[in-house]
A = this chain, B = another copy of it.
Amino acid sequence: MNPLYYVSIVREALNEDLGFQDLTTETIISESHCSVAEITAKETGILVGMDIARCAFELLDKKVNFQAKIADGARVSPGQVVAVIEGRTRTLLGGERVALNFMQRLSGIATVTNKAVESIKDFSSHLVDTRKTTPGLRGLEKYSVRMGGGYNHRFGLFDAVMIKDNHIAASGGITEAVSLVRAKVGHMVKVEVETETLPQVEEALQTPIDIIMLDNMSTDQMKEAVQLINKKVLTEASGGITLDTLVRVAETGVDLISLGWLTHSAKALDLSLNIIE
């Protein structure tokens, strides 16, 4: 990741939590008081966020010593120490909540992603994320999906073309929409079309696109569509897929399965920071 990207996010988060001062710590604990703290996993999952957590402490005091005990993407167990931090107590307590808030959220995303990935590991389908991410944290959340074993869909509206129902309606049809896009968009941009019916899939197949999304189709429809498309372009299943229905979707042979809940509804992974000496 671009370090300038996440440093500015962490700086804003520290300012949000600390404001002008840490009323409690600055009143009770002297500036020179030092401690050692551990960050510990309290449940099983995939840990993400080491550089973010380090950054939270180093922005408050460059001299803090942050030692990561594992790398991003590693599986952790309850009680496992994931990082040890030495420095001024004010720094440790001032950065604690921000470091944990990031790590818990990002690890939660990686953990649920990994669970979903594991559930279809016998199939060839790849899991991908969506743009349904937390405002302001998209780069970090997409990174977490990768750490959990998933893949990234486009980042935003600017880096790939996705022709949706409203585009199709406004332009008069898939053929017309793709034609407009191909006339203007550069050669480094991939084009995906959203389809909801098999006739739409057939129309899309006649156009120069890279991916066909099968949106809100039944798994029977998906199977038929996959056969129709026959690997000529990539296929993506999307819409209303849950952890329970995932295997059945993977069985259809689609190349990609996109899941909004990897990022918009992930449960935080429980972690804690304790001063040990």
Q: How many copies does the complex hold?
A: 6
A114 sits at the interface (CB 8 A): no
Q: Mark A235-277, 1 if CB is under 8 A from B, else 0.
A: 0100000000000000000011000110011111000000100
Q: Which residue of B lies closest to A56 (CB)?
A: B135
CB pair A158 B12 closer than 8 Å: no
A169-210 at interface with B (beta carbon < 8 Å): 169-171, 177, 180-181, 184-190, 192, 210
Contact-residue bracket for chain A: 35 or more
CB pair A14 B19 closer than 8 Å: no
Q: Mark A137-161, 1 if CB is under 8 A from B, else 0.
A: 1110011001000011111111111
Residues of A within 8 A of B (CB): 1-5, 9-29, 33, 35, 59-61, 89, 93-94, 97-98, 100-102, 104-105, 108, 126, 128, 131-139, 142-143, 146, 151-164, 166-167, 169-171, 177, 180-181, 184-190, 192, 210-211, 234, 236, 255-256, 260-261, 264-268, 275
